């Protein structure tokens, strides 16, 4: 199926952000944390950056799992960050998770992170290389990388079937976004080409569920 870019990069409509924050992504978000543990192991004491953090469910999962981790979580949508701030405050984790309202590509990222992670951002970006360049700019030598995203289905019918399977009872705004995201997602071959073009070809790529792919590994 030919790729159709997302109509909007940021998820900054209030109802859209709220529907996303209230949806149950626990299975895929827990898969994300498990995939990171496969790359990193059960200890992580350093600084982590989450690019496109949305409502911060993933930074919260990392903060619980790795009590010594310090996490910067970046998103360009104030509506999402408002919800992220509330979720972090509810768990009193403000001292360990710092939110940053920032649009990628960003020019002020410093090379200071022991791990850079991102879930479901890549297919939103106008230029996918912005994600890979941002990672390359801010990760320390030896740092761990994990990027997970949707995998573009082979046909519109397969995309419809995934929406029916995973979002049947979801609010209409979520069904719309999930459908658009499946059409905007990349294939594994396209992502391998992006990695080659950004000097990150050593990272591993794999399909990790019926609708997700992951890119993971360690910097030299
Ligand atoms: C599908 S959500 C994923 C949120 C979160 N990572 C998760 O897994 O729950 C994508 C997020 O990326 C953000 N985003 C999209 N384009 C962006 C850009 N160019 N710069 C910063 N954030 C962006 C959106 O606002 C949205 O919050």
pLDDT of 10-47, one tens digit each? Answer: 999 999 999 999 999 999 999 999 999 999 998 999 99
35 within some domain? yes
Q: What pLDDT band is residue 107 in, cutting at 50, 70 and 90?
A: confident
Question: What pLDDT, in 10s, does the model give residues 76-88?
Answer: 999 999 999 999 9
6 within some domain? no
CATH number at residue 63: 3.40.50.150
How many domains does the structure of the chain reveal? 1
Specify the residue with its C-alpha closest to ligand 1, atom 19: 104
161 within some domain? yes
Check pocket membership of 75 for ligand 1, CB cut-off 6 A. Answer: yes
According to DSSP, residue 112 is labeled: -
**Domain span including residue 101:** 14-218
Q: DSSP states of 178-206 as a string?
A: HHHHHHH-B-HHHHHHHHHHTT-TTSEEE
149 within some domain? yes
Two tokens, residue 54: 């949305």
122 within some domain? yes
Specify the residue with its C-alpha closest to ligand 1, atom 14: 10
8 within some domain? no
């Amino acid at each position: 199926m030919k790729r159709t870019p997302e109509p909007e990069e940021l998820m900054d409509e209030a109802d859209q952000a709220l529907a996303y924050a209230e949806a149950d992504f626990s299975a895929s978000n827990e898969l994300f944390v498990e995939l990171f543990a496969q790359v990193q192991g059960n200890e992580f004491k350093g600084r982590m950056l989450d690019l496109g953090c949305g409502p911060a469910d993933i930074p919260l999962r990392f903060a619980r799992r790795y009590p010594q981790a310090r996490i910067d979580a970046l998103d360009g949508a104030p509506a999402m960050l408002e919800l992220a701030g509330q979720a972090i405050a509810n768990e009193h984790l403000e001292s360990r998770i710092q939110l940053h309202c920032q649009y990628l590509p960003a020019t002020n990222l410093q090379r200071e992170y022991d791990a850079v992670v991102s879930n479901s951002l890549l297919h939103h970006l106008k230029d996918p290389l912005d994600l890979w360049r941002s990672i390359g700019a801010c990760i320390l030598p030896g740092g761990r990388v994990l990027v997970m995203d949707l995998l573009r289905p082979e046909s519109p019918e397969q995309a419809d079937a995934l929406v029916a399977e995973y979002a049947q009872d979801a609010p209409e705004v979520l069904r719309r976004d999930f459908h658009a995201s499946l059409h905007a997602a990349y294939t594994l071959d396209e992502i391998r080409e992006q990695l080659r073009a950004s000097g990150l070809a050593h990272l591993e790529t794999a399909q990790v569920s019926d609708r997700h792919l992951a890119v993971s590994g360690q910097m030299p």
